[in-house]
C-alpha cells in the first residue's frame, strides 16, 4: 500500500503545506465545506472558483479544487489536463453550509473518508452544481454535457467509473472508486 | 485386492461426506503464505464458494450464491493476448465477444441504412465516411462501463474479488498470483471453474503468431484494421468479416472447408452467398502457408489452394485468425486437484450437474466439455448450480433447444435441430421441411437484394408434427427467433404454428405462413400479401 502522508492535524506554522485533512477544526481555514454532521456552526460559503492548493511537501498529496457551476468545473478540468481527476457533484450549499440535497449531506462524510484512499498526484474536484431549480431543469449543463443525472455523483473523470446517489453512501464502493485502476 | 478395497472405501467416504475436509499441507507449500493455509489447517475453508473466472458463467454463479447467503469469492485474470490486448472484469462476452461484436455489427448495419435513406427521401450524401477510431472509442467506453458495473455489483453483494491468476494447489485450495507476482492461497468448500476459452493461434503457420491478430484484439484496435484477411469459417470469422465489410473495409475471408461447422449447412451457404454478393471476397478451399511483414509494414500472405494445388498471394494490413477457440485450462494445474479433461479439446469433463471428476469442483461455460459456447447457457447453468449448491433447487440445466443467432450482415437465427441432424436422427422419410423465400418490406423501396431471405421449419412428419427446428435468415433474426424458441420449448406442433396469427407487416409472420414443403418440390417463393 502506498504511503498516504501524515495524519496528524496541521500545526499553524505548517498551514498550506500539509495534506488536506478530513475534519478541520471549526473556524479554521480548512473548514469549508463542512464535513461532519450539521453542527449549527456557520461557515463561509466558498466563493466561486476558489482554489485550495496544497503544496507537495513533505509527500505529494492529492489536490483538492473547489468549484461552483459548470463553467468553473470545465476550467478546473482543463487546468489539470493529463492528471487523474476525481469529481464529486453535490447540490449547492446555502449560507449555513447545508446542501438542498439530503443525499449529498449524507454522502459527503463518506466521500471525505474515502479520500484517504485516493492516489497521490490525483486531483479531486469538489463541484457544487447549483440551486435546486437549476438542477431540476432537465436541460441543465451537467445533464446535457456530462451526463450527470443525479446528485450526489462521484466519478473518475474520463472513465465510465462512477457512483451515483445511494452508491456514494457505501464506504467500500467509495474506497474502491478512489483506489482501483 | 486390499488396495482396491481401500480405494473403494476412500472413494465412498469422499462421496458420502462430500464436504471440505482438511488435508495436511505439504511443508513446501505451508512455508510460503499464511492465511488460507492456517485456516485450512483449522478445518475452516475461507469461502463457501470460490469461482475461478469472472465471465458470464462465473459472475452469474457467484452473484446468485452470494444472494442466497453464501460467502463467495471470484478470482478473475486476463492473460494479455500476444498483441498485448487486455481487458477488465466480465469475461469474453462483455469484452471481446457478444457486446463489442453486436455494436460493431450495428455500426455496419447503420451504414447500409444510410445507403438506403435517399430512397425514402433523405438528403444523405452517397459517400459517407466511417471513422473507425470514433466507433472503437465509443464501443470501448461502453465495455469499460460494463467492467465497472460488474465491479460495483460484486462489491454490493459482498463477493470478494481478486484480480489474480488462479491455479490449484490441491482440491480445496487455489493459489492466486497478482500481476505484480504477489501470491495468496484461497480455500473453499465448493469451487466452480469458469475460465472460458481464448482464440487459437495457428502457430504451425510461419508468421501467424508474430503478425496476426484475433478477436481478442480486433475490438480494441484504436486505428482501423484496413484491408483485412479473416482466416476461418466460424461464426467469429463471418461476423467479423461481415462488419468489416459493412464499415467499408476491403475484406477477404479464407475458409479451408465449410462455413459454420455444426450449423445447418443449407443456411450457412445462404449466409456466405449474401456476404459474397455484398462486398466480401471469399477464398474457398484454401489454407495460409505463411505471413510475412513487408518493409512498408503491410503483410504478405501466401496460401495454398487445396483442390488444384496452386498458390495464391496478396498483401493485407491485417490478418485476423478465427480458426477456433481453446479452453483456458492449461495453467490451472488441474491434475493437482484431480479434475479430468478431454485431452484433445482440453475442456473439463462434466456431468449433468456440471460436476467434474471431483465431487465438489464444478465447471460451467465454454471451459466445460459438450456445452454450447454461449453466454446465456453459461449464465443459466451458473445460477442453477448456485441454487443447487445452496439447497434451493434440484433443477438441472436444460441444454436442449437453445436458440442462437449468427450476426452476419444478413442474420441467421436458429433453434432446435438442423435439417441434417433431424434426418440423421429420424430418417428422411419421417421428417417434413417447410420453407419459404420471402422479401422484407424494408428491402422493397430501397431495392435491396433479398435472394437469401429464407425460412425453414423442420418437423416430424407424424402428427401432431412437432417442430424440431426453426431456421430464419433475414433482418433482426435474433429478435425473431427468441419468441419461437419458447414455442419449441413448449413442444409446439406445425398445426399450432399455423394457428398462430402473424403480425403484419413483419418478417417474423412468414414463419406462421409456411405451407410449401421441400418434399412437394414446389417453388417456395412468397408472393405478395
Residues of chain B in contact with residue A162, where contact means CB-CB under 8 angstroms, are: 148
Burial class (CB in 10 A: 0-12, 13-18, 19+), A120: middle
Of A160, A170, A172, the CB nearest to B145: A160
- Distance from A51 to chain B by nearest Cα, in Å? 31
Phi-psi region of B226 (alpha: psi -120 to 50; beta: other; left: phi over 0): left
**Among the partner residues B142, B148, B155, nearest to A161 by beta-carbon distance:** B148
Q: Which residue of A has its CA nearest to B156?
A: A173
Among all residues of chain A, which has the CA nearest to that of B88?
A: A181
Q: Residue B6: pLDDT above 60? A: no
**B461 vs A119, which has greater pLDDT?**
B461
pLDDT at A19 over 80: no
Backbone angle region of A84, left / alpha / beta, with phi > 0 → left and psi within -120 to 50 → alpha: beta
Number of Cβ within 10 Å of residue B3's Cβ equals: 7
**Inter-chain touch A160–B148, beta carbons under 8 Å:** yes
Residue A1: pLDDT band by 50, 70, 90 thresholds? very low
Measure CB to CB from residue B155 to each of A160, A162, A172 and give the nearest one. A172
With contact defined as beta carbons under 8 Å apart, do A176 and A163 qualify? no
pLDDT band at B13 (very low <50, low <70, confident <90, very high): low
Percentage of chain B beyond pLDDT 70 is: 91
Question: Residue B8's pLDDT is what?
Answer: 52
pTM for the full model? 0.84
Q: Nearest CA of chain B to the CA of A19: how many Å?
A: 29
Cell numbers standing for residue A40: 449549527
Inform me whether the pLDDT recorded for B524 exceeds 50: yes
Least confident of A37-46, B305-314, B480-489: A37-46
In the block, which residue shows the cell 424440431? Answer: B468
- The residue ranking higher by pLDDT, B171 or A61, is B171
Summary mean pLDDT of chain B: 93
Alpha-carbon gap, residue A166 to B184, rounded angstroms:
33
| Residues in chain A closer than 8 A to B151 (CB atoms) | 176, 180
**pLDDT on residue B126:** 82
Neighbours of B469 (CB within 10 A): 21
What integer is the mean pLDDT of B46-61?
98
pLDDT of residue B308: 95
- B278 catalytic per annotation: no
Of A159, A167, A173, nearest to B144 by CB-CB distance is: A159
Q: Is A39 on the interface with B (CB under 8 A)?
A: no
A residues 145..174 contacting B (CB < 8 A): 159-163, 167, 170, 172-173
What is the tens place of the pLDDT at every residue in A113-150? 999 889 888 999 999 999 999 999 999 999 999 999 99
Whether pLDDT at B445 is above 80: yes
Task: Inspect the interface and report whether the beta carbons of B144 and A170 lie closer than 8 Å.
Answer: no
Q: For residue B141, what is the nearest residue in chain A, using CA coordinates?
A: A160
Residues of A in contact with B147 (CB under 8 A): 160
Q: What pLDDT digit, counting tens, does each position of B343-370 carry? A: 999 999 999 999 999 999 999 999 999 9
ipTM over 0.85: no
- Predicted local confidence at residue B515, as pLDDT: 96
Helix (H) or strand (E) holding B318: strand B318-321
How far apart CA B96 and CA B117 sit, in angstroms, is 31
Q: How confident is residue B412, by pLDDT bands cut at 50, 70 and 90?
A: very high
The predicted model gives B257-266 an average pLDDT of 97
Which position has the higher pLDDT, B28 or B405?
Answer: B405
Nearest to A176 among B141, B145, B155 (CB): B155
Tens digit of each residue's pLDDT (9 = 90 or more) over A52-89: 554 444 445 789 999 999 999 999 999 999 999 999 99
Which of A160, A163, A170 shows the shortest C-beta gap to B141? Answer: A160
Residue among A160, A170, A180 whose CB faces B144 most closely: A160
Q: What is the pLDDT of residue B31?
A: 41
Q: Which residues of A touch B144 (CB under 8 A)?
A: 159-161
Nearest Cα neighbor of A74 from A30, A121, A125, A117 is A125
Q: Name the DSSP letter for residue B81.
A: P
Question: Which residues, at least 6 apart from B347, have a Cβ–Cβ distance to it below 8 Å?
Answer: B327, B329, B341, B367, B368, B369, B370
pLDDT digits (tens, 9 = 90+) for B15-39: 454 444 444 444 444 444 444 554 5
Mutation pick from A176, A178, A179, A181 vs chain B, by most beta carbons of B within 10 Å, is A176
Per the rule left: phi > 0, alpha: psi between -120 and 50, beta: everything else, B143 is: alpha
Q: Which residue, among B348, B373, B366, has the nearest Cα to B358 in the 3D structure?
A: B348
CA distance A161 to chain B (A): 6
Residue range B488-514: mean pLDDT, rounded: 97
**Which of chain B's residues have a Cβ under 8 Å away from the Cβ of A160?**
141-142, 144-145, 147-148
Residue-level pLDDT at A180 = 77
Residues of B with CB under 8 A from a CB of A: 141-142, 144-145, 147-148, 151-152, 155-156
Q: Which of A86, A68, A79 is nearest to A142 (CA)?
A: A68
What is the mean pLDDT of the segment spanning B133-141? Answer: 97
Cβ contact B148–A176 (<8 Å)? no
Share above pLDDT 90 across residues of chain A, in percent, rounded to a whole number? 59
Q: Which residues of B touch A172 (CB under 8 A)?
A: 155
Smallest CA–CA distance, residue B94 to chain A, in Å, is 15
- Per-residue pLDDT, averaged over B235-258, amounts to 98
CB B151 to CB A176 under 8 A? Answer: yes
What does the pLDDT average to over B225-243? 98
Indicate which of A146, A155, A160, A179 best probes the interface with B, i.e. most B CBs within 10 Å of its own CB.
A160
| CA pair distance A90, A101, nearest whole angstrom | 7
Minimum Cα–Cα distance from B139: chain A residue? A160
Tell me which of B105, B115, B190, B504 is the catalytic residue. Answer: B504
Which residues, other chains included, contact B319 with Cβ-Cβ below 8 Å and sequence gap of 6+? B208, B211, B212, B213, B228, B229, B231, B288, B291, B299, B301
User: Which DSSP helix (H) or strand (E) runs through B319?
Assistant: strand B318-321
Q: Write out chain A residues lying below 8 Å of B155, CB-based.
A: 170, 172-173, 176
Cβ pair B472, B455 in contact under 8 A: yes
Report the pLDDT value the prediction gives residue B43, as an integer from 0 to 100: 67
Residue B29 has, within 13 A of its CA and on its CB side, a CA count of 20
Asked if B152 and A173 come within 8 Å (Cβ–Cβ), the reply is yes
The predicted pLDDT at position B27 comes to 42
Least confident of B10-24, B192-206, B460-474: B10-24
Contacts of B142 in chain A (CB under 8 A): 160
Residue numbers in B near A175 (CB within 8 A):
none
- The answer to whether A179 contacts chain B (CB < 8 Å) is no
Asked if residue B505 has a cis previous peptide bond (ω within 30° of 0), the answer is yes
Full DSSP string of A28-48? STT-SSP-SS--S---PPPPT
Residue A52 to chain B, least CA–CA distance (Å): 30
Helix, strand, or coil (residue A152): coil
Catalytic one among A104, A122, A127, A168? A104
Q: Is the pLDDT confidence value at A43 over 60?
A: no
Answer yes or no: do A170 and B156 touch at CB < 8 A: yes
pLDDT at residue B425 tops 60: yes
The percentage of chain B sitting over the pLDDT mark of 90, rounded to a whole number, equals 90
- The pLDDT, as a whole number, for residue A7 is 44
Pick from B142, B144, B155: which is nearest to A173 by CB?
B155
Residue B313: CB atoms within 10 A of its CB come to 11
Per-residue pLDDT band for B4 (boundaries 50, 70, 90) equals: low
Cell numbers for B323, please give them: 480458426
Q: What is the pLDDT of residue A119?
A: 84
- Euclidean distance between CA atoms B344 and B359, whole angstroms: 23
Burial class of B5 by CB neighbour count within 10 A (0 to 12, 13 to 18, 19+): exposed
- Beta carbons of A173 and B156 less than 8 Å apart: yes
C-alpha cell at B15: 462421496
Among B138, B155, B179, the strongest candidate for a mutation testing the A interface, having the largest count of A CBs within 10 A, is B155
Cβ(B492)–Cβ(B478) below 8 Å: no
Chain A to chain B, count of Cβ pairs less than 8 Å apart?
Answer: 23
Q: Are residues A163 and B152, on separate chains, in Cβ contact within 8 Å? A: yes
Amino acid at each position: 500500500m502506498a504511503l498516504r502522508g501524515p495524519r496528524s492535524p496541521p500545526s499553524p506554522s505548517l498551514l498550506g503545506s500539509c495534506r488536506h485533512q478530513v475534519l478541520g477544526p471549526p473556524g479554521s481555514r480548512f473548514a469549508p465545506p463542512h464535513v461532519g454532521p450539521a453542527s449549527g456552526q456557520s461557515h463561509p460559503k466558498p466563493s466561486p472558483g476558489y482554489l485550495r492548493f496544497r503544496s507537495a511537501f513533505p509527500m505529494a498529496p492529492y489536490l483538492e479544487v473547489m468549484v461552483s457551476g459548470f463553467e468553473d468545473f470545465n476550467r478546473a478540468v482543463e487546468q489539470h489536463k493529463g492528471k487523474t481527476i476525481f469529481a464529486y457533484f453535490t447540490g449547492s450549499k446555502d449560507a449555513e453550509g447545508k446542501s438542498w440535497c439530503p443525499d449529498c449531506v449524507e454522502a459527503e462524510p463518506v466521500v471525505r473518508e474515502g479520500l484517504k484512499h485516493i492516489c497521490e498526484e490525483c486531483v479531486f474536484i469538489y463541484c457544487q452544481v447549483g440551486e435546486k431549480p437549476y438542477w431540476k431543469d432537465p436541460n441543465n449543463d451537467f445533464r446535457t454535457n456530462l451526463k450527470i443525472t443525479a446528485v450526489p455523483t462521484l466519478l473518475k473523470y474520463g472513465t465510465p467509473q462512477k457512483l451515483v446517489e445511494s452508491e456514494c453512501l457505501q464506504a467500500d464502493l467509495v474506497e474502491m472508486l478512489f483506489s482501483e485502476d | 485386492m486390499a488396495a482396491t478395497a481401500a480405494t473403494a472405501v476412500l472413494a465412498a467416504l469422499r462421496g458420502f461426506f462430500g464436504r471440505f475436509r482438511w488435508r495436511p499441507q505439504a511443508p513446501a507449500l505451508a512455508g510460503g503464505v499464511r492465511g488460507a493455509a492456517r485456516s485450512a489447517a483449522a478445518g475452516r475453508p475461507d469461502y463457501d464458494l470460490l469461482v475461478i473466472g469472472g465471465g458470464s458463467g462465473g459472475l452469474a454463479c457467484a452473484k446468485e450464491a452470494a444472494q442466497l447467503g453464501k460467502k463467495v469469492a471470484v478470482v478473475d485474470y486476463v492473460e494479455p493476448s500476444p498483441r498485448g490486448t487486455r481487458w477488465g472484469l466480465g469475461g469474453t462476452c462483455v469484452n471481446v465477444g457478444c457486446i463489442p461484436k453486436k455494436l460493431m455489427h450495428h455500426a455496419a448495419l447503420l451504414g447500409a441504412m444510410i445507403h438506403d435513406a435517399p430512397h425514402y427521401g433523405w438528403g444523405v450524401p452517397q459517400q459517407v465516411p466511417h471513422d473507425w477510431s470514433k466507433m472503437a472509442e465509443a464501443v470501448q467506453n461502453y465495455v469499460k462501463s460494463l467492467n465497472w458495473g460488474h465491479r460495483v455489483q460484486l462489491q454490493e453483494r459482498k463477493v470478494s474479488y481478486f484480480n489474480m491468476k488462479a491455479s490449484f494447489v490441491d482440491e480445496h485450495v487455489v493459489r492466486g498470483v497478482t500481476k505484480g507476482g504477489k501470491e495468496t492461497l484461497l480455500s473453499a468448500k465448493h469451487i466452480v471453474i469458469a475460465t472460458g476459452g481464448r482464440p487459437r493461434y495457428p502457430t504451425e503457420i510461419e508468421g501467424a503468431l508474430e503478425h496476426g491478430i484475433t478477436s481478442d484484439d480486433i475490438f480494441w484496435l484504436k486505428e482501423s484494421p484496413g484491408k483485412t484477411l479473416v482466416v476461418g469459417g466460424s461464426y467469429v470469422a463471418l461476423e467479423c468479416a461481415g462488419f468489416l465489410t459493412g464499415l467499408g473495409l476491403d475484406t477477404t475471408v479464407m475458409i479451408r472447408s465449410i462455413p459454420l461447422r455444426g450449423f445447418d449447412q443449407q443456411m450457412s451457404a445462404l449466409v456466405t452467398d449474401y456476404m459474397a454478393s455484398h462486398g466480401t471476397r471469399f477464398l474457398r478451399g484454401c489454407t495460409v502457408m505463411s505471413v510475412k511483414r513487408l518493409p512498408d509494414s503491410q503483410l504478405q500472405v501466401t496460401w495454398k489452394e487445396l483442390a488444384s494445388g496452386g498458390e495464391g498471394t496478396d498483401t493485407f494490413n491485417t490478418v485476423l485468425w478465427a480458426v477456433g477457440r481453446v479452453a483456458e485450462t492449461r495453467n490451472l494445474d488441474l491434475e493437482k486437484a484431480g479434475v479430468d479433461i478431454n485431452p484433445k479439446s482440453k475442456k473439463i469433463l462434466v456431468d449433468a450437474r456440471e460436476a467434474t471428476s471431483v465431487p465438489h469442483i464444478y465447471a460451467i461455460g465454454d471451459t466445460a466439455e459438450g456445452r454450447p459456447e454461449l453466454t446465456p447457457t453459461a449464465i443459466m447453468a451458473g445460477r442453477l448450480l448456485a441454487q443447487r449448491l445452496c439447497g434451493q433447487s434440484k433443477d438441472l440445466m436444460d441444454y436442449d433447444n437453445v436458440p442462437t443467432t449468427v450476426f452476419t450482415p444478413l442474420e441467421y437465427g436458429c433453434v432446435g435441430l438442423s435439417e441434417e441432424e433431424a434426418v440423421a436422427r429420424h430418417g428422411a422419410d419421417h421428417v417434413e421441411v417447410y420453407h419459404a423465400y420471402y422479401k422484407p418490406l424494408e428491402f422493397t423501396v430501397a431495392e435491396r437484394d433479398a435472394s437469401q431471405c429464407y425460412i425453414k421449419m423442420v418437423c416430424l412428419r407424424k402428427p401432431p408434427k412437432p417442430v424440431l427446428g426453426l431456421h430464419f435468415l433475414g433482418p433482426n433474426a435474433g429478435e425473431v427467433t427468441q419468441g419461437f424458441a419458447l414455442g419449441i420449448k413448449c413442444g409446439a406442433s406445425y398445426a399450432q404454428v399455423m394457428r398462430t396469427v402473424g403480425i403484419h407487416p413483419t418478417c417474423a409472420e412468414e414463419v406462421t405462413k409456411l405451407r410449401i414443403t421441400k418434399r412437394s418440390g414446389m417453388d417456395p417463393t412468397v408472393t405478395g400479401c
